[in-house]
Structure 1
């Protein structure tokens, strides 16, 4: 169970609605930080317990078709929980999903995770974000999550989620859960010192991953980007996404 620390509200003053308008973003940032910290803790534990999977950026890029194949079957799961078939999983639908996955979370925690995984801020979880959510649940709660998604496909999903998480750890050498532009540049060039990747390419690649433009990429943003590059698309997106 994800135990989130209660967030304090901003004292309501004579400024009227200004205080309440400010309270929500601050609370949300605190929740996101709390979830980020829990993900970092899980990543560090994983890095200590597992051998490194990837030795170069090319080895990650070559796995993209396999990632796509392994994640394709999640579409049926998404459609099952998208009860109203509008291409988005809302809070109520997500609660049903978490119950099915046997992830013990309070309604508030489900709401917090829902907002956390709403990467593109379209007020609901689309298919790519749903894949990100399942991968994060797998990291935090273990393989029981994938068994509930699909008993038949659980081994395949475990493999894909493991490699997606390990791909992030390949870039995140500091182990703090934050990938920076220098990490991308260093990793893309360390395999060959003779043919260095042009800086404008590594810069563009990092910008595509840094979805909230804060100068670092967390696991959530990295997963969302990798899923797009693998060709896992939502109903309203084309197939012309930039790939690494």
Structure 2
């Protein structure tokens, strides 16, 4: 396997796509027909602070559903969470989502994994009641934040196939940084941070995990972990 796995990466990322991940790709392709409102990669970067602030506000919700206070949400706690948020997924769909987002296979989702999961729910569910329920949980800006993340992926995925390729990432950054010689290097670094399984293609889930790292969401969960 090429490349060295970094913190938070998992060899599991290299297995073939699950039924759920195929569904995510198809949902993204449907969304991509509407196009993106973003005009440059810089406009995505400018939104980092606001996205970061919005996602951090989910911490209280995460803690509410972490019923045993062990810093992670287990499969049963996730089912309770979905029930309370009125997100109508079957047990099989919930288990698939949990497995897709529990990247370290610890049977417990950390905060950044929970954020990714909620964003995937947003993409998969054309269910206004679920979205209103999420808003009612004290996360009114979350829907707009998730839409920004979807929009960012749509902007990067020029050929609208549900994946971002290395060339698409280079093109997106070059559009912004025309004439800067470092832009290709920046694009490669960003792409490598996203492409865990080194297959040259990034799906929405991989993009979201990279994004939580870029805006520093992973750091929140590390704050108290060494004391355990």
* TM-score range relative to shorter protein: 0.7 to 0.9
Q: Which has the larger radius of gyration?
A: 1
The within-5 A match list for 1:93-104 is 93-104=77-88
Structure 1 residue 42 corresponds to structure 2 residue 27: yes
**In structure 2, do the counterparts of structure 1 residues 106 and 152 end up closer, same or farther at CA, with 3 Å as the change threshold?**
closer
Equivalence for 2:56? 72
| Partners of 1:147 and 1:154 within 8 A in 2 | no
Runs of 4+ in 1 over 6 A off after TM superposition: none
Structure 1 residue 198 displacement after superposition: 4.4
**In structure 2, do the counterparts of structure 1 residues 193 and 213 end up closer, same or farther at CA, with 3 Å as the change threshold?**
same
Q: Please list every run of 5 or more consecutive structure 2 residues that lacks an aligned counterpart in the other structure.
A: 1-11
2:199 paired residue among 214, 232, 235: 214
Structure 1 residue 223 corresponds to structure 2 residue 208: yes
Structure 1 residue 155 displacement after superposition: 4.0
Q: TM-score, normalised by structure 2?
A: 0.82
- Residue 190 of structure 1: SS of its match in structure 2? helix
- Measure the CA separation in 2 of the matches of 1:187 and 1:87: 37
Bigger shift: residues 119-128 or 183-192: 119-128
**In structure 2, do the counterparts of structure 1 residues 67 and 111 end up closer, same or farther at CA, with 3 Å as the change threshold?**
same
Structure 1 residue 202 displacement after superposition: 2.1
Structure with more contact order per residue of length (Cα contacts < 8 Å, sep ≥ 6):
2
Structure 1 residue 102 displacement after superposition: 2.0
Equivalence for 1:150? 135
Equivalence for 2:92? 108
2:159 paired residue among 156, 174, 177: 174
| Partners of 1:188 and 1:197 within 8 A in 2 | no
Structure 1 residue 134 displacement after superposition: 0.6
Structure 1 residue 54 corresponds to structure 2 residue 31: no
- Measure the CA separation in 1 of the matches of 2:183 and 2:151: 25
Q: TM-score, normalised by structure 1?
A: 0.77
- Measure the CA separation in 1 of the matches of 2:205 and 2:23: 12
Structure 1 residue 122 corresponds to structure 2 residue 106: yes
- Residue 150 of structure 1: SS of its match in structure 2? helix
| Partners of 1:146 and 1:154 within 8 A in 2 | no
Structure 1 residue 122 displacement after superposition: 3.4
1:133 paired residue among 95, 99, 117: 117
Q: CA RMSD in A?
A: 2.3
- Measure the CA separation in 2 of the matches of 1:215 and 1:155: 36
Structure 1 residue 88 displacement after superposition: 1.0
Structure 1 residue 91 corresponds to structure 2 residue 68: no
Bigger shift: residues 65-74 or 146-155: 146-155
- Measure the CA separation in 1 of the matches of 2:171 and 2:106: 34
Structure 1 residue 105 displacement after superposition: 2.6
- Measure the CA separation in 1 of the matches of 2:54 and 2:39: 22
Equivalence for 1:22? none
- Measure the CA separation in 2 of the matches of 1:35 and 1:45: 15
